[in-house]
Amino acid sequence: MKTELPSGLVVVVKRDCPTCELVAPVLADLASRGALSIYSQDDPDFPEGLAVRDDRELELSYHHDIEAVPTLLRVEEGREVERTEGWHRGDWEKLTGLSGLGRDLPDWRPGCGSLSQLPEQRAALRARFESDTLRARRIPLAPLEDVYEALHERGWSDGLPMIPPTPERVLTMLDGTSRAPDEVVAEVPPDLVPCSVEKVAINAVMAGCRPEYLPVVLSALEAACNDDFNMHGVLCTTMPVGPILIVNGPIRRRIGMNSGKNVFGQGNRANQSIGRALQLVIRNLGGGRPGEVDRATHGNPGKLGLCFAEDEEGSPWEPYCCDAGFEAGTDTVTLFAAEGPRCIVDQISREPESLARSLAAGLRGVAHPKTVMGMDALLAVGPEHARVFREAGWSKTQLLERLNELLTISGEELVRGAGGIAEGLPERLRGASLPKFRPGGLRVVHCGGAAGLFSTIFGGWAGGAMGSQPVTREVRP
């Protein structure tokens, strides 16, 4: 609750401020003329000989945003109507309606910083005076308990060290969004637990996010909890898949995401922590823990969290968000259920047809060379491969059409026993020609470092209504 101000004149000072010392005679003059309430941030005996209220806890200074001392306020019926900072004779006389103040003083002196604005104080004060806005259950720790080990022992960790979600950190994280802390973002599978913005912020803290990443995490959670994405199924499958996050729009640059060298690897805080935050919410709120609902036979390291930005500026094509129905320049996050990345190396092809054939050959192996129309795929085309298509004038649509043509496979290669492999399709399909991917099941993005003639494949899980479909959400503040 905000500390109420007494009506009349109110001044906030501290002894450790030369300007406050300078105006002490003015304060004595004002006190002798009428109502003046003095609050001291560091010494209730300053100024000497005057009635001073103790604000060493900085409650009044915090609640009324005192940025400098001395600050003089005029208060009517408990409401501030005017203030001035530092010492300026004209401003003090105008505010008080009195003339002749501080005749022996210089006309102007700047004030000093308020103790309530010190960086080391601000977060602690906020936690002290605003933590009642947080609704999450508090978990007390024993005096000798190691907080980092406690996070592991209580089952909240993904196996890596985590940042303790103190009230100070959670409140700071919530600054990253305009959404109310108690707004329910989604019901998180598999347990379908309602998850508030505050709960997402807690897990974002533990994941190592900065506040400006929070809108992306919130939108990613909305996408993950959409029935089309089918997060419950992604968890329950024995395949090694997990959600991959693809970020488009100006927000990529604002929050410092990586779309270039080592784009799927370590080293970028935003990429690493955003994907991790989503996975922690699913684990800690939804109950999606490995060995329980998460039944993956092998899993993949990306299940810790895999998030990257598309390189829109260097791409020869429109960004992925346009494929999802949004305009270029829209901040979006897309979730795609996929296994870990695999590299396609083609150092020689300089013509689009040759390179498309190389990419198709790599894509043939998704899940199994004989698996058709079952698994989607995401093709991340690297800049040097993209240059081949750019110079030939191939659009993304043209590339996808050619890949799908090249990946239309004779049933003779797909049936059981073909190639000496027992795995395969029923014999009745021997005379058919079947596409590797369902319509729209192959998707293309552009990212990666400029050196190296490489692209990357992410094999998907069961596509379409029987499995998981990519879901894109606009990122809102």
**Each residue of 224-247: pLDDT tens digit?**
999 999 999 999 999 999 999 999
The pLDDT of 285-290, averaged and rounded, is: 95
Q: Is the pLDDT of residue 109 over 90?
A: yes
Q: Is the pLDDT of residue 395 over 60?
A: yes
Please report which confidence band the pLDDT of residue 408 belongs to, taking 50, 70 and 90 as the band edges. Answer: very high
- Predicted pLDDT at 375: 95
Q: Is the pLDDT of residue 3 over 90?
A: no
Contact 446, 295 (CB under 8 A): no
Contact 209, 257 (CB under 8 A): no
DSSP code of residue 260: S
Domains of the chain, by residue range, sit at: 8-117, 150-417+429-474
Residues 6 or more apart whose Cβ sits within 8 Å of residue 55: 12, 39, 40, 41, 61
- Predicted pLDDT at 328: 97
* Range in 17-26, 37-46, 68-77, 138-147 with the lowest mean pLDDT: 138-147
* Mean pLDDT, rounded, of the chain: 96
- Based on C-alpha coordinates, what's the Rg of the chain? 31
Please report which confidence band the pLDDT of residue 389 belongs to, taking 50, 70 and 90 as the band edges. Answer: very high
Q: Is the pLDDT of residue 33 over 90?
A: no
Short-list 52, 48, 27, 56, CA closest to 38: 52
More confident call, 465 vs 401: 401
Percent of the chain with pLDDT over 90: 93
Please report which confidence band the pLDDT of residue 29 belongs to, taking 50, 70 and 90 as the band edges. Answer: very high
Write the DSSP string, 70-138: SEEEEEETTEEEEEEESEEHHHHHHHHT---TTTTS-SEE--EE-GGG-HHHHHHHHHHHHGGG--SPP
CATH class of the domain comprising 8-117? alpha beta
The pLDDT of 381-402, averaged and rounded, is: 98
More confident call, 34 vs 142: 142
Rounded Cα–Cα distance for residues 270 and 200 (Å): 16
DSSP strands (E only) in 291-403: 306-309, 332-345, 375-381
- Predicted pLDDT at 1: 56
> What is the identity of the amino acid at 85?
E
Q: Is the pLDDT of residue 215 over 90?
A: yes
Please report which confidence band the pLDDT of residue 11 belongs to, taking 50, 70 and 90 as the band edges. Answer: very high
- Predicted pLDDT at 130: 86
The pLDDT of 277-300, averaged and rounded, is: 96
Q: Is the pLDDT of residue 307 over 70?
A: yes
Q: Is the pLDDT of residue 186 over 90?
A: yes
Write the DSSP string, 34-81: S-EEEEESS-TT-STTS-EEE-TT-HHHHHTT--EESEEEEEETTEEE
- Predicted pLDDT at 21: 97
- Predicted pLDDT at 463: 84
Q: Is the pLDDT of residue 2 over 80?
A: no
Rounded Cα–Cα distance for residues 337 and 305 (Å): 12
Please, is 327 exposed, middle or buried when counting C-beta atoms within 10 Å of its C-beta (0-12, 13-18, 19+)?
Answer: exposed
Q: What share of the chain is helix, strand, coil (3-state, %, to 5)?
A: 35, 20, 45
Q: 472 has which bridge partners?
A: 334
pLDDT digits (tens, 9 = 90+) for 322-350: 999 999 999 999 999 999 999 999 999 99
Rounded Cα–Cα distance for residues 67 and 85 (Å): 8
